[in-house]
Amino acid sequence: MNMTQIKYFIMAAKCLNFTKAADKLFITQPALSRQISAMEMELNMQLFVRNNRSVNLTPAAVILLEEFEKIYNDYNLAIAKAASSFEGISGELNIGILDGAYVGDLFPPVLRHFAEYYPQVKINLRNYSFNALIENLYSNKLDMIITLLFDVKDRDKIQYKVIEKTKDHIVVHKNHRLAGAKYVKMSDFKDDTFIMVSTEDSEMSPKLILDSFKGSGVMPKVKFASSIQEEMLWVEAGVGVCMLDSRNTLHDNPNVRFLDVDQVSDPSLTLAWNVDNYNPMKEIFADVFLPHREKGL
């Protein structure tokens, strides 16, 4: 059995449609069927149950799929690392940063390190919304992202390390009636307009906030913003209040106040990556960016 056959098996097992799998592999359906049959003969076990209407995995194939994916991922990572070593480290590292997150104090050391030791590596830094970060991470358009913990911790095939523990705050205009309060409750804002990003921008953030209001027994007037940046502008203008983490760039703005509140989530600043991304520069970046943490890349 060779790595090409393992690749074919993984694709067929995921698609559960030999024609579709063959198209994705850029081979013919009969060629794929021959390779699968050869694997079944070599292993002396049936991998697929096929009829005119469906294709299903046997229990043995379910186990092999999980283990073969690990082998195939490790194989590709080893090849990528070897190629980089042979050719000299070069290429690009694409990093997405959550809109509104202040990271200006985190990047200078790592950028200086890359400029000195890996001058042929281009680091691209771009800002995105919550959902755009996740979509681009899964598609491997981004190699790593910096976002908030609650948005990545339960996602399939995404691993992460916390950069810094942060917490939620209710953010109000400096002229708000509660601007001088040291601590507030969600129920204190039942008569306010509460601004939050829409579900198109974030799946988790508005759900967590709305669930918290329901738990407090009140529901303010809600205004949805198309992005965190828009949300921040509305609050700075005094149109409403919102919830932001302590790493948000609005934190030091003199026109607003960040008020302590019971936590509705864990918004800690987090570095995350897709386990199916094989860019070897991820580990190099993390070695500098997270010098005192276990990488696990």
pLDDT for 259-292, tens place per residue? 999 999 999 999 999 999 888 888 888 888 886 4
What is the C-alpha to C-alpha distance for residues 33 and 18, in angstroms, rounded to an integer?
7
User: What CATH number belongs to 168-261?
Assistant: 3.40.190.10
Fold type of domain 89-146+275-289: D-Maltodextrin-Binding Protein; domain 2 (3.40.190)
What is the C-alpha to C-alpha distance for residues 265 and 131, in angstroms, rounded to an integer?
17
State the CB neighbour count (10 A cutoff) for residue 76.
14
Question: What pLDDT does 116 receive?
Answer: 86
- The residue extents of the domains of the chain are 3-85, 89-146+275-289, 168-261
pLDDT for 154-173, tens place per residue? 899 999 999 999 999 999 99
Question: Domain spanning 3-85: which CATH class is it, in words?
Answer: mainly alpha
Task: Evaluate whether 3-85 and 168-261 have a shared fold.
Answer: no
CB 256 within 8 A of CB 176: no
Q: Which of helix, strand or coil describes residue 175?
A: coil
Question: What pLDDT does 296 receive?
Answer: 45
